[in-house]
């Protein structure tokens, strides 16, 4: 088997920067726990604050795409990371619930600014034959950083949850500095310079709208799992900080299980069948969360969940890219990315309400049933992109990669 071609220096630096940033990026799942513990807020209030954050991420991603074209990729990434650091430090130093709410909204407005320019840099810096591999490695960088972040959260969270936000802010600033010093200077496009801009209308593409709908449902389940896990653990008599260990197990699985998606049988699966299988694994993992009563059992469930997550993320971003017309992949990915903002808005409210009214077991069971429904829906409604065979071949190189 031939060694894969080396990625451009720009992409490798971006991967390194995102690993550094991800190392401290496990404060957000503990936002609701911090609000309840330090400010005496109810689950409902904590959920609404997290929902306000999620709502703010929707314009954040769209503005990030616009700024990337107007002022440049590097500048937009640095702006977003510095904005996140300021907001996280404000949350850590907050003395009132009002200040936490304002800081959470500020964090949401800055949180997604760097995603569109980061994806654009990858798409523009590598040839088409390397694009799937590059996006996979970009996600692998997040998972690798997440492994250390989960352990950090488990240790620091037992001491004081506020320090998680301080550490997250520090890694954002370190990432911003690395991007600022290492990436090439921006060359933003002049207004009106893109003649195809008026021809790309992502929301008029029925195939993309369908993928956006199922992707939003998946993101809602994913975000609910992340947001409510610390609170669910306390309901089961375990420390909220143990969520950090589960997050670490999930991240380790997405990295170590990467060879599984390179198996010939897996690569030959059509996109609808692969996504259906992925959601069956997600349902199995969530069922494990519902039934588990000990940390080892929860860790096993996290591994199963992560295998499904690995299959979903790798396939869905390749699918969206294949659906995009020439020159429109950035806008297609930006529109698809709003699914995470919608999910981040709804998940805290739905998750905390379900947890408060029905308990942890019913909450996990409900999400497992939704995954089963999505598994059936993918078999009937998900398009099989014409670029599937090319994407499968691009996954073949022996380079670790995953999607998050």
Task: Identify the band that residue 400 occupies on the pLDDT scale cut at 50, 70 and 90.
Answer: very low
Does residue 89 carry a pLDDT above 70? yes
State pLDDT tens for residues 261-315: 767 787 778 889 989 999 999 999 999 998 888 889 999 999 999 899 888 877 7
Does residue 388 carry a pLDDT above 60? no
- DSSP per-residue letters across 128-167: GGGHHHHHHHHHHHHHHHHHHHHHHHHHHHHH-THHHHHH
Task: Identify the weakest region by mean pLDDT among 49-63, 136-150, 305-319, 340-354.
Answer: 136-150
Residue 401, SS3?
coil
Q: pLDDT exceeding 90 applies to what percent of the chain?
A: 18
Task: Taking residues 128-146, report their average pLDDT.
Answer: 68
Query: Which of residues 238 and 288 earns the better pLDDT score?
Result: 288
272 contacts 379 by C-beta, under 8 angstroms: yes
Backbone angles phi, psi at 205, to 5 degrees: -90, 110
pLDDT value, residue 205: 85
Give the contacts of 115 (CB within 8 A, at least 6 positions apart): 61, 64, 334, 337
Task: Taking residues 47-58, report their average pLDDT.
Answer: 81
Task: Identify the band that residue 153 occupies on the pLDDT scale cut at 50, 70 and 90.
Answer: low
State pLDDT tens for residues 56-78: 888 888 888 778 777 888 898 99
The burial of 128, by beta-carbon neighbours within 10 Å (0-12 exposed, 13-18 middle, 19 or more buried), is given as exposed
Task: Identify the weakest region by mean pLDDT among 98-102, 136-140, 142-146, 190-194.
Answer: 190-194
pLDDT value, residue 52: 84
Does residue 403 carry a pLDDT above 50? no
Does residue 193 carry a pLDDT above 50? no
Q: At what angle do helices 43-70 and 31-39 cross, to 10 degrees?
A: 130
Residue 59, SS3?
helix
Cα separation of 47 and 66, whole Å?
30
Task: Identify the band that residue 1 occupies on the pLDDT scale cut at 50, 70 and 90.
Answer: very low
- Number of Cβ within a 10 Å radius of residue 19: 19
Closest CA to 354 of 345, 366, 363: 363
Task: Identify the band that residue 187 occupies on the pLDDT scale cut at 50, 70 and 90.
Answer: low
Residue 185, SS3?
coil
Cα separation of 210 and 272, whole Å?
12
Task: Taking residues 369-385, report their average pLDDT.
Answer: 89
Query: Which of residues 321 and 87 earns the better pLDDT score?
Result: 87
CATH level 2 (architecture), domain 9-186+202-395: Up-down Bundle (1.20)
74 contacts 180 by C-beta, under 8 angstroms: yes
Task: Identify the band that residue 2 occupies on the pLDDT scale cut at 50, 70 and 90.
Answer: very low
Straight-line distance from the first to the last Cα atom of the chain, in angstroms, rounded to the nearest whole number = 27
């Amino acid at each position: 088997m031939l060694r894969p071609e080396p990625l451009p220096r720009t992409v490798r630096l971006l991967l390194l920067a995102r690993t550094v940033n991800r190392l401290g990026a496990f404060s957000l799942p503990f936002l609701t726990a911090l609000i309840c513990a330090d400010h005496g807020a109810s689950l409902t209030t904590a959920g609404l604050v997290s929902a306000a954050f999620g709502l703010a991420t929707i314009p954040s991603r769209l503005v990030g795409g616009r700024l990337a074209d107007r002022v440049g990729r590097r500048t937009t990434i640095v702006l977003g990371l510095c904005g996140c650091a300021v907001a996280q430090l404000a949350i850590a130093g907050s003395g009132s619930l009002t200040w936490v709410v304002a800081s959470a909204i500020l964090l949401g407005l800055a949180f997604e600014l760097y995603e569109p320019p980061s994806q654009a840099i990858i798409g523009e810096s590598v040839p088409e034959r390397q694009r799937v591999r590059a996006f996979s490695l970009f996600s692998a960088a997040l998972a690798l950083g997440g492994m250390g972040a989960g352990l950090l959260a488990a240790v620091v969270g037992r001491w004081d949850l506020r320090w998680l936000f301080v550490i997250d802010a520090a890694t954002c600033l370190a990432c911003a500095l690395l991007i600022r010093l290492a990436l090439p200077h921006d060359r933003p496009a002049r207004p009106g310079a893109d003649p195809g801009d008026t021809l790309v209308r992502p929301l008029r593409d029925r195939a993309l709208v369908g993928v956006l709908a199922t992707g939003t449902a998946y993101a809602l389940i994913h975000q609910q799992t992340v947001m409510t896990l610390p609170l669910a653990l306390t309901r089961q008599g375990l420390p909220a900080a143990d969520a950090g260990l589960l997050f670490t197990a999930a991240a380790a699985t997405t990295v170590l299980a990467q060879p599984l998606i390179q198996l010939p049988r897996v690569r030959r699966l059509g996109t609808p069948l692969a996504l259906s299988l992925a959601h069956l694994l997600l349902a199995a993992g969530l069922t494990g969360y519902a039934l588990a009563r000990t940390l080892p059992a929860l860790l096993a469930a996290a591994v199963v969940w992560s295998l499904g997550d690995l299959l979903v993320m790798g396939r869905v971003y390749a699918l969206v890219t294949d659906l995009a017309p020439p020159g429109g992949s950035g806008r297609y990915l930006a529109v698809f990315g709003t699914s995470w903002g919608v999910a981040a808005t709804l998940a805290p409210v739905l998750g905390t309400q379900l947890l408060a009214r029905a308990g942890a077991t019913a909450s996990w069971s409900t999400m497992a049933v939704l995954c089963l429904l999505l598994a059936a829906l993918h078999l009937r409604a998900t398009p099989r992109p014409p670029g599937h065979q090319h994407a499968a071949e691009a996954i073949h190189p022996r380079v670790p990669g995953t999607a998050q």
